[in-house]
Amino acid sequence: MESRNIRLAVIPGDGIGAEVVAEGLKVLEAVGTKIEATHYDLGAARYHRTGETLPDAVLEELRGYDAILLGAVGDPSVPPGILERDLLLRLRFTFDHYVNLRPVKLFPGVETPLADTSAEDIDMIVVREGTEGLYAGTGGAMRRGTPHEIATQESLNTAYGVERVVRYAFEKARSRPRKKLTLVHKTNVLTFAGDLWQRTVNQVAEEFPEVATDYCHIDAASMYFVTQPERFDVVVTDNLFGDIITDLGAAIAGGIGLAASGNVNPDRTAPSMFEPVHGSAPDIAGQAKADPTATILSVAMLLDHLGLRAEAARVEQAVADDIVERPAGGVGRSTHEIGDDITARVSS
């Protein structure tokens, strides 16, 4: 593995995206991997300049890479939905990123808003389905703008799609010390989709006798994330519930500046894409105030996905060592100072 060249497509995107991605790349280089990084200019700036979000030719070119590193896209000047649907969701759907992996882990030394909670209490991973559910884009509107407007938005759940993500989650749970999987849904109200999810979990569970399974309604899970986060090890859930609950996860584990994610195609039929959970933060863009840690942790996930486990562990350890020395309140270093400090730890 040592001598392998990683072919990486980099989409810095908008706002703080470019600032945090630069630090992620620094760390990636310091870890000793040979990377061939190609930058792609996509996002709000390109949209304004050319009207393009994700040209077909670029999409096909991206398919040829080992992985994609994304900063963030979005700007208040672009109507909502355009970059989300035509760029981000298009990448996730086309490259079949059916697993959206979001670790929720409290590093020692990080402040959590939860009282009497320590690092051992928050160490879970949310496996969010990434290609179906309410994000599939089915539905429509008629009589728009009139008092008789009708709008529908349907949640699409296929046996195939649910099974593959549930199976992935069970495998993940089996590889972790606690070996526990919790399905989070709303089976009591969303009876059709919920039934499919619950039956699938029950069926796949038979192949994983060493994994303990549990179930929580999404509303109760939101409460338990705050009152009993230690309840969770691996959480598997649908696209929308996963989107929402992982923001709560980020909040309890030290904030959006630390939350990493991977849009993973476990079958490796297309490149997986790693990105911080946060957006382009226009309020602090260009001021070197953004915390690059979420991106650096996303780089660790990227290395892990490419089979570079030791390198991934080194990056995560460097982050942990850096975090433990951060002053309470988090004041101090600029984006590149944090990046430099973590890079130095990785290189040493």
Q: Which residues bind ligand NAI (CB under 6 A)?
A: 16, 20, 72-75, 88, 256-257, 275, 278-284, 290-291, 294
Catalytic residue among 34, 41, 195, 247: 247
What is the C-alpha to C-alpha distance for residues 247 and 334, in angstroms, rounded to an integer? 24
Sign of the CA dihedral 301, 307, 312, 313?
A: positive
Tokens of 322: 């850096």
3-state SS assignment for residue 280: coil
Give buried/exposed letters for 158-180 (b at 16+ CB in 10 A, else e): eeebbbbbbbbbbbbbeeeeebb
21 binds, among Mg ion, ligand NAI, none (CB under 5 to 8 A by kind): none
Between 275 and 322, whose beta carbon lies closer to ligand NAI? 275
243 is catalytic: yes
Catalytic residue among 66, 75, 96, 243: 243
Of the candidate residues 243, 311, 316, 322, the single one contacting Mg ion (CB under 5 A): 243
For residue 128, the minimal CB distance to Mg ion (Å) is 10
92 binds, among ligand NAI, Mg ion, none (CB under 5 to 8 A by kind): none
Q: Return contacts of 54-60, CB within 8 angstroms, 24+ apart.
A: 54/86, 54/87, 54/90, 54/91, 59/90, 59/91, 59/94
Between 84 and 163, whose beta carbon lies closer to ligand NAI? 84
Kindly report the backbone phi and psi dihedral angles of residue 205, in degrees, each rounded to the nearest multiple of 5, phi listed first: -55, -30
Catalytic residue among 186, 238, 304, 322: 186
For residue 246, the minimal CB distance to Mg ion (Å) is 7
Residue pair 306/6 in contact (Cβ under 8 Å)? The answer is: yes
For residue 141, the minimal CB distance to ligand NAI (Å) is 21
Between 72 and 190, whose beta carbon lies closer to ligand NAI? 72
219 is catalytic: yes
In the complex, residue closest to Mg ion by CB: 243
Residue pair 10/38 in contact (Cβ under 8 Å)? The answer is: yes
Backbone region of residue 329 per phi and psi (left: phi > 0; alpha: psi in -120 to 50; beta: other values) = left
Q: What is the dihedral of CA 144, 47, 277, 215, to 10 degrees?
A: 30
247 is catalytic: yes
Give Cα 223 distance to the centre of its chain: 22
Catalytic residue among 41, 219, 267, 283: 219
Between 129 and 243, whose beta carbon lies closer to Mg ion? 243
For residue 44, the minimal CB distance to ligand NAI (Å) is 8
Binding of residue 238 to Mg ion (CB under 5 A) = no
Q: Which stretch binds Mg ion (CB under 5 A): 28-36, 205-213, 241-249, 286-294?
A: 241-249
Between 86 and 121, whose beta carbon lies closer to ligand NAI? 86
- The residues annotated as belonging to the active site are 135, 186, 219, 243, 247
List of residues contacting Mg ion (CB under 5 A) = 243
